[in-house]
Amino acid sequence: MIAAADRVCVAQIGAAHGVRGEVRLRSFTQDPQAFTSYGPLESEDGARCFIIEALRPAKDHFVARIAGVNDREAAEQLTNLRLYVSRAALPPAGDDEFYHADLVGLTAFTPDGTPLGTVTAIHNFGAGDIVEIKRDGAEPLLVPFTDTAVPAIDMTAGRMVVDLPAETE
């Protein structure tokens, strides 16, 4: 079992596909098929290990056959299960590249140094990455993860600079 701090979510199982136990699978890696080369995949709690036996591309996801999942009922029980690998299995992030898991917990500041809150999640609803920032006493702030909206990240200092549009502040 991989310690929680040493895990990175690389994929998520979607709905069952067909009657023979295949599932839809969404990849969270830059190279969509890369998650298959990182070794066995674990559930979030680390209690279950999954091996992809076959994978084929579909419209906006993959269709996967997972070892031991042989019928639709077993596949349906895996719906929405996130799959993790050890951080040590992943390649190092390049310049100006970040693992989403590393961004969670950073403190967000405006360009003039005013604290905004804490990064709680990175979402992607299909149109690009969105940074979610939890603010004290206010609704969470959702900011596009672009060079314009997030011009600077200092991992060593645990800081992210967020340049909000005037109407958002």
Q: What was the pLDDT predicted at 95?
A: 80
Please give the chain's pLDDT, 169 residues, in tens: 555 567 888 899 999 999 999 999 998 888 888 888 888 899 988 899 999 999 999 988 899 999 999 999 999 999 999 999 988 888 888 787 888 888 999 999 999 999 999 999 988 777 788 999 999 888 999 999 999 999 999 988 999 999 987 655 5
Question: Angle CA(5)–CA(114)–CA(133) in degrees, nearest 5?
Answer: 40
Query: What is the β-pairing status of strands 107-109 and 159-161?
Result: parallel
pLDDT of amino acid 93: 80
Residue 148 φ then ψ, to 5°: -75, -50
For each of the domains in the chain, give its residue range(s) and CATH number, in order of start: 4-87 (2.40.30.60), 100-161 (2.30.30.240)
pLDDT of residue 79: 95
Model pLDDT, residue 87: 84
CA 74 from centroid of its chain's CA atoms: 24
* Residue 147 falls in which region: left (phi positive, over 0), alpha (psi -120 to 50) or beta: alpha
Q: 10 Å Cβ neighbour count for 141?
A: 19
The predicted pLDDT at position 168 comes to 56
What is the pLDDT, as a whole number, of residue 81? 94
Count of beta carbons in the 10 Å neighbourhood of residue 122: 18
